């Protein structure tokens, strides 16, 4: 703590005036009307989409909507048509990120109970810059290599190394050219409305997870009359985009990793990692320090160790896999399993998801450009939340030197939206619960379902009947849980259950197997764990 205080004091002297967050604006300037061409549908290349009976194509839109006759972007789109006699329109889906591929999410309708999804045409799409869309944004495919410099900048040399690395990434991103100025959330929202037009629909239905909730908030602010039904699961707090949102995450992830350590202690008879949460936590940090000195297999250092276990703060899905990796490393020196888990989220040579994440967040709003602001805020947060704070800081650090124009966030206003179903587990770390309460205020005709005690992020359609049946009822009939006065949820459900590992004494707790909806979402976000 003394070192932290000293660093803060030195930074405060050097800082001078800090960069202030820009004021929100109501909406981007009115752009010329654009009428897209109809989508030419054909066969999908993805086996999972083919097997689901999807068709695929490209939506051609302006790179810059202010210049509709100028350069174009091709947005990859998939569609699975409705199966029921009653047609309720198109359902656009976004998995989050930003940077998550949503092309496969046209399959999500099959996960809605009681065939309530069968009345919709489910539309998956890769937002501009992502995946199969053209051009696809990439900066440095090897940025997430192995045995990187330790996250925590305990020396000026470590801090300098990370500053150089993040500045280098931002510089590398400049090669993408004009699209970096036209990849904001507002641009994607306009693409969604172009998609509506191309499909000949007066309104859209929308299902957004994680960052996808913010995209839904922005779309429904800009085009409120074009929204029919909307489900927002894991709500971004629009007051905090994006710098403060990441600091809020750090505190929440630190809480959730302690919950995971408690789960490991509960099943010490299986994993032998400690009989108390405190003992498991000590062992985890001891291993992190050990790996900083000597990386496992020469590749998994302390940073990679942190990244492997970050998913435990997001979901209960995967808790057993991470526990087995922890157990295998500590007791048998198995580093290969750790590497496999790391590679799942950071596939070597592919930074598309991270590049788009950076491009959107860094240009949605002007981030602080004075590094002393970052230094003070992150050391302060680290003092009470050490697990992810500096990892998250360096993840976002390219925004301090981003090579594109930044905008101002939309002032979200859902007062003209007829209704929306909001969902949040109350210990969600990626999008803390306060965000859902704020969105509930901004959308006065919405209803919020919460899951007290739950740590899973954006967990609807994961097999919890209380939640999923309410989603199905809303999609089938438009009925929402009755809204009640006060600053709280309108309905409460059990969270996605924590798993019971094989070999443990069964205590009547259901196993948290990923249900079809959860697996489809995880496939979409396998390479990106942030919003």
pLDDT value for 510: 52
The alpha carbon of 51 is separated from its chain's Cα centroid by a whole number of angstroms, namely: 27
List of the chain residues with pLDDT < 70:
1-31, 505-530
- What pLDDT is stored for residue 2 in this prediction? 36
Chain position carrying tokens 């309460």: 437
Phi, psi torsion values for 278, nearest 5 degrees:
-65, -40
Looking at every residue in the chain, the average pLDDT score rounds to 92
Tell me the C-alpha to C-alpha distance, in Å, between residue 206 and each of 189, 257, 386: 12, 32, 37
H/E stretch holding 492 = strand 491-492
Q: Does the active-site annotation cover 469?
A: no
List, for residues 347-364, the tens digit of each pLDDT value.
Answer: 899 999 999 999 999 999
pLDDT of residue 531: 73
Q: Is residue 133 exposed (0-12), middle (13-18) or buried (19+ Cβ within 10 Å)?
A: buried
Backbone angles phi, psi at 100, to 5 degrees: -75, 140
Residue 62's CB is within 10 A of a number of other CB atoms, namely 22
Q: Which residue is catalytic, options 82, 182, 457, 530?
A: 457
Q: For residue range 452-510, what is the model confidence (pLDDT) as tens digits?
A: 999 999 999 999 999 999 999 999 999 999 999 999 999 999 999 999 998 886 554 55
| The pLDDT value given to residue 455 | 98
Sole residue written with tokens 């989050």: 96
Catalytic residue (one of 132, 210, 220, 489)? 210
CA quadruple 446, 451, 454, 457: dihedral, nearest 10? -30
Residue 428 known to be catalytic = yes
Contacts of 444 (CB under 8 A, 6+ apart): 414, 415
CA nearest neighbour of 423 among 404, 447, 402: 447
Q: Is 40 a catalytic residue?
A: no
Structure tokens at 372: 């002393």
The span from the CA of 346 to the CA of 142, in Å, is 9
Residue 108 in contact with residue 139, Cβ under 8 Å? no
Using a pLDDT cut of 70, give the percent of the chain over it.
Answer: 89
Please pick, among 191, 250, 428, 490, the residue that the annotation labels catalytic: 428
Residue 112: name the closest of 440, 463, 504 by CA: 463
């Amino acid at each position: 703590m003394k070192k932290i205080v000293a660093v803060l004091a030195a930074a405060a002297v050097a800082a001078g005036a800090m960069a202030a967050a820009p004021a929100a604006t109501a909406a981007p300037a009115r752009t010329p009307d654009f009428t897209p061409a109809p989508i030419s549908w054909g066969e999908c290349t993805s086996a999972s989409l083919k097997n689901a009976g999807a068709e695929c194509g490209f939506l051609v839109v302006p790179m810059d909507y202010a210049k509709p006759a100028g350069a174009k972007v091709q947005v990859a789109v998939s569609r699975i048509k409705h199966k029921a006699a009653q047609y309720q329109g198109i359902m656009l889906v976004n998995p989050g990120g930003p940077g998550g591929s949503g092309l496969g999410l046209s399959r999500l309708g099959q996960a809605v109970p009681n065939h309530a999804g069968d009345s919709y045409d489910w539309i998956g799409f890769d937002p501009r810059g992502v995946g199969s869309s053209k051009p696809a944004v990439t900066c440095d495919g090897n940025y997430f290599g192995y045995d990187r410099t330790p996250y925590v900048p305990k020396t000026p040399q470590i801090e300098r190394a990370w500053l150089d690395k993040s500045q280098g990434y931002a510089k590398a991103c400049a090669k993408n050219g004009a699209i970096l100025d036209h990849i904001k959330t507002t641009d994607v929202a306009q693409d969604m409305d172009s998609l509506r037009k191309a499909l000949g629909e007066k309104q859209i239905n929308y299902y957004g997870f994680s960052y996808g909730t913010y995209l839904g908030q922005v779309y429904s602010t800009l085009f409120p009359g074009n929204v029919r039904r909307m489900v927002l699961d894991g709500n971004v707090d629009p007051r905090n985009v994006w710098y403060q949102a990441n600091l809020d995450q750090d505190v929440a992830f630190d809480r959730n990793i302690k919950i995971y350590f408690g789960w490991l202690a509960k099943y010490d008879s299986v994993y032998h990692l400690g009989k108390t949460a405190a003992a498991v936590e000590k062992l985890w940090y001891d291993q992190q320090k050990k790996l900083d000195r000597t990386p496992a297999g020469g590749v998994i250092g302390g940073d990679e160790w942190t990244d492997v276990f970050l998913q435990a703060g997001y979901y209960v899905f995967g808790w057993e896999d991470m526990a087995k990796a922890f157990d295998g490393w500590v007791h048998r020196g198995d580093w290969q399993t750790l590497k496999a888990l790391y590679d799942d989220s950071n596939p070597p040579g592919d930074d598309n998801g991270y590049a788009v994440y950076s491009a959107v967040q860094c240009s949605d709003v002007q981030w602080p450009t004075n590094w002393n602001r970052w230094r003070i805020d992150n050391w302060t947060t680290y003092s009470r939340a050490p697990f992810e704070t500096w990892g998250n800081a360096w993840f976002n650090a390219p925004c301090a030197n981003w090579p594109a124009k930044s905008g101002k966030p939309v002032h979200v206003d859902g007062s003209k939206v007829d209704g929306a179903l909001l969902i949040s587990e109350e210990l969600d770390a990626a999008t803390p619960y306060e965000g859902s309460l704020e969105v509930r205020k901004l959308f006065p005709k919405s209803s919020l379902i919460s899951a007290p005690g739950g740590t899973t992020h954006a967990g609807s359609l994961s097999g919890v009947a209380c939640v999923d049946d309410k989603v199905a009822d809303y999609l089938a009939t438009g009925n929402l849980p009755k809204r009640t006065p006060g600053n709280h949820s309108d309905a409460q459900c059990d969270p996605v259950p924590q798993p019971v590992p094989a070999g443990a004494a069964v205590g009547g707790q259901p196993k948290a197997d990923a249900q079809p909806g959860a697996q489809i979402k995880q496939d979409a976000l396998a390479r990106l764990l942030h919003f």
